[in-house]
Structure 1
Amino acid sequence: MSKLTLTSHFGAEADDFYAELIAAQADLSDEAAADWLARLTLILCNHIGDREVLRQAFALAHHAPAPHD
């Protein structure tokens, strides 16, 4: 059984990656940003391709507290 990796692969560059992620959507409306995130999600899910890992990620995302909690 495949297992979802929860340790960061970004190391010291985690903040830089987060800034890039935010900047990539900076000029988009809320609706366009939601569409962009949906497309990005599908692209990355296809790249991962392991449905068990994706199920684990779905469950984690569903049960994770919102950033403002």
Structure 2
Amino acid sequence: MADLVTTPNIADADAFYADLIALHDGLTEEESAALNARLILVLANHVGDAQVLRQALDAARAAGRRDG
């Protein structure tokens, strides 16, 4: 079983974040939400491992509870 990587793992994370923000520039809130959903599905397909994806879902839910 593979495990979800939760430690920093993106080369030049600041540049990626800037690209992600720029991707949403000029979009409505609805268009931005739809773009996020498409991006999630593209990345989930790339990961492909159902166990890792379940870990990611669980981690995202847990992080949302801590933030709220």
TM-score normalised to the size of structure 1? 0.86
Count residues with an aligned counterpart. Answer: 67
User: How far 1:10 sits from its partner (Å)?
Assistant: 2.2
Residue matched to 2:25: 26
Gaps of at least 5 residues in structure 2 are none
- AA in 2 matched with 1:24: L
- Tell me the distance in 1 between the aligned counterparts of 2:37 and 2:10: 22
- One-letter code aligned to 2:29: D
Counterpart amino acid of residue 28 in structure 1: L
Structure 2 CA distance for aligned equivalents of residues 56 and 31 of structure 1: 27
Percent of aligned pairs with the same amino acid: 45
* Matched residue, 1:57: 56
Letter of the 1:25 partner, please give it.
H
| Distance in 2 (alpha carbons) for counterparts of 1:43 and 1:17 | 16
AA aligned opposite 1:33:
S
Which runs of structure 1 show a deviation greater than 3 angstroms over 4 or more consecutive aligned residues?
A: none
For structure 1, the residue ranges without an aligned partner over 5 or more in a row are none
TM-score with structure 2 length normalisation?
Answer: 0.87
